[in-house]
Chain A
Amino acid sequence: AQKVTQAQTEISVVEKEDVTLDCVYETRDTTYYLFWYKQPPSGELVFLIRRNSFDEQNEISGRYSWNFQKSTSSFNFTITASQVVDSAVYFCALSEARAGGTSYGKLTFGQGTILTVHP
């Protein structure tokens, strides 16, 4: 069975601080995808990143960066120089990557981390 754990329920920072959101996962699949989504108060899910389990390169996109460590089953997300607009719930998710697999396309979500950035 797949499991995603986001141990941080809520994080509060002041604008311009760096913040890291933790994500630890469990899966028996040999190939899988990891995702991060942002959910602002309006409720829609905003896709941030997808990482294939074969690709352990870290990624940077503007103020966002992701650290994937297969050895520790972690996929952490860092926001540099946080802004008030970053305030949202952030979800880490996992899915099987093998086309035709029984769980292909289905996402298992973590519990989410509520990030509040104060001005």
Chain B
Amino acid sequence: SAVISQKPSRDICQRGTSLTIQCQVDSQVTMMFWYRQQPGQSLTLIATANQGSEATYESGFVIDKFPISRPNLTFSTLTVSNMSPEDSSIYLCSVAMTDGDTEAFFGQGTRLTVV
């Protein structure tokens, strides 16, 4: 199993600013993912954080808006850039183990409000 620590747990930010969310895992994992959950909505995959290379973004998400870093196998960051009220969401980090028995683990999420 994996324990994921996500920081901050919540934040209120001014429009036009940027926020960086951190995701720390207690063990090395191959795959890390970032999801967004807009108010009252389901979870949508933003991107796959690739260690040592650029993240792979899903349709509708771009690197300029959501830059992602993954410097090693236990850590990743997601930055929400030039925020607007529409970016108010819960952002969740997820990891998947590749030991032949996939289970997707989630961090506790970051509740972002943009004012």
Is B48 close to A, CB under 8 A? yes
- Please give the residue numbers on chain A whose beta carbons come within 8 Å of chain B beta carbons, in ascending order: 33, 35, 37, 43-45, 47, 50, 91, 93, 95, 97, 99, 104-112
Give the interface segment out of B66-74, B78-86, B103-111.
Answer: B103-111
Question: Given the complex, which residues of A lie within 8 Å of B94, measured CB to CB?
Answer: 105, 107
A106-B33 in contact (CB<8A): yes
Question: Given the complex, which residues of B lie within 8 Å of A44, measured CB to CB?
Answer: 106-109
Could you show 21 A-B contacts with beta carbons less than 8 Å apart?
A33-B102, A45-B43, A47-B103, A47-B105, A91-B42, A93-B104, A95-B96, A97-B102, A99-B100, A99-B102, A104-B31, A104-B96, A105-B31, A105-B33, A105-B95, A106-B48, A107-B45, A107-B94, A108-B45, A109-B42, A110-B42
**Minimal Cβ-Cβ distance residue in A for B107:** A44
Question: Given the complex, which residues of B lie within 8 Å of A107, measured CB to CB?
Answer: 35, 43, 45, 94, 104
- The prevalent SS among residues of B at the interface is strand
Please tell me the number of chain B residues within 8 Å of chain A, measured between CB atoms: 25
Given A91-B42, A107-B94, check contact A35 B104 (CB 8 Å).
Answer: yes
Q: How far is the CA of A111 from the CA of B44 in the complex (A)?
A: 10
Chain B, range 33-50, C-beta contacts under 8 Å to A: 33, 35, 41-45, 48
- Please give the residue numbers on chain B whose beta carbons come within 8 Å of chain A beta carbons, in ascending order: 31, 33, 35, 41-45, 48, 90, 92, 94-96, 98, 100, 102-109, 111
B100-A43 in contact (CB<8A): no
Given A105-B33, A106-B45, A106-B48, check contact A43 B111 (CB 8 Å).
Answer: yes
Most buried by B among A43, A50, A104, A110: A43
Question: Given the complex, which residues of A lie within 8 Å of B44, measured CB to CB?
Answer: 109
Given A106-B45, A110-B42, A112-B42, check contact A95 B102 (CB 8 Å).
Answer: yes
